[in-house]
A and B are shown apart, each in its own frame.
Chain A
């Protein structure tokens, strides 16, 4: 099978991309992993090759990171094959923060609930342990990704572990916790927390809250999202997710609420 696409680049086919995952040139490996995820190539041999790439030892950064593992984990998340779950769970123990982050995101996307307990272990030590790593631009664990994944996976047993992160010192982590808490409890105050964040002073945080709100599917936020001081592209993504949630909940492509969300989206084009 060959995928023809204007952006497929480097003339890759599914076969050559899979072959390139073990190419001597590690940059080609890296690109091939991205490519397979981008086009969601879910064939058995693509998934097997990507799972193998999660163990790669050849492609290393100066700080000891594993770029190919990161990309392979992201690709497996996009492809969504549950066969990747055991290997991704092992990645949660990888010394590279970004591999752990990519694996947590991928596990959330794949949606296999057996990932809940291992993901939850990354929250061990609670908010107190969730500190900045000296000299690095990240915390000790990929808390944002873990919280979001636990919300997606409907990890009701993790509520007590998640809730305290609403008080984390980083707003992004607070939002991820609020988002997960709303998904798990459907308690409007958690979604309202994100609505309130839309009026904050920092545009990056407004974007972040906007995208989190979209993921909650909290319909009363529609108007606040449409009118937030954020670029239309972000609002459209957020409303698109709300619309998908509404359609899933109502099982109706043209419920009054769905039509209303689309009116807002049309106005933002």
Chain B
């Protein structure tokens, strides 16, 4: 089938299962022409199809970032979470501002979790070097705040993001890394949820060189 036919199959799918199949076939092409359709699928409220679309967009990579950023759905938090997941997986720093804002202010925990994780794994080397250090400081500040969130799953995601940032900051110990280490140790020792304590412990274990522990 041509790309046009594959796109048409997605648009004309009549059952949830046939939609998932059609999205999978379209995503498998990795053709940039599929981007607008894959983005539309994020808002169809069909989790199977949305997951396949996120995968397709992730495989296309950087070319999908601007189109996703332009079409982020401010009114549908389900669709927004999938957009943020795709941006986080592509990890292009062009999404930095959007991830930062989503992590800090979105009301939906699923959006905040995806953004927090995403900020820890951006390809910082693709960012203009003059901006990297300020951006990383901002990311650390936002994630440190998120470790105080009431929702344990947001705290957990913040730990995952901080672990990624600790690595990204390298092995020369910075004040950000010290702040991360202190926060992780506090979470490990006294968070109310065992899962958050365990994840903080894991982060301290795998990133010792970056944290001076």
Contact = CB atoms under 8 A, between A and B. Distances in A.
Partners in one complex: yes
Interface of A: 5, 7, 229, 231-233, 236-237, 239-240, 243-244, 247-248, 253-254, 258-259, 262, 265-266, 269
Contacts of A259: 202
A253 B160 contact: no
A109 to B, nearest CB: 14
A261 B77 CA distance: 27
B157 interface: yes
A269 B198 contact: no
Interface residues of B, number: 24
Nearest to A241: B195
Contacts of B116: 269
Contact of A254 (B117, B152, B193, B202): B202
A265 B205 contact: no
A269 B117 contact: yes
Contacts of B153: 233, 236-237, 240, 269
Given A229-B47, A233-B153, A266-B160, A243 B113 contact: no
The interface centre, meaning the residue of B109, B188, B194, B195 with most chain A CB atoms within 10 A of its CB, is: B195
Given A232-B110, A254-B205, A269-B113, A243 B195 contact: yes
The interface centre, meaning the residue of A229, A254, A269 with most chain B CB atoms within 10 A of its CB, is: A269
A224 B202 CA distance: 23
Nearest to B199: A262
Main secondary structure of the interface of A (DSSP, over half): helix
Contacts of A239: 195
A103 B26 CA distance: 53
The 10 closest A-B pairs by CB, nearest first: A240-B195, A244-B194, A269-B117, A253-B201, A269-B113, A269-B157, A253-B198, A243-B195, A236-B153, A266-B160
A269 B160 contact: yes
Given A232-B110, A240-B152, A254-B205, A265 B47 contact: no
B172 interface: no
Contacts of A258: 198
Nearest to B200: A253
B47 A247 contact: no
B125 interface: no
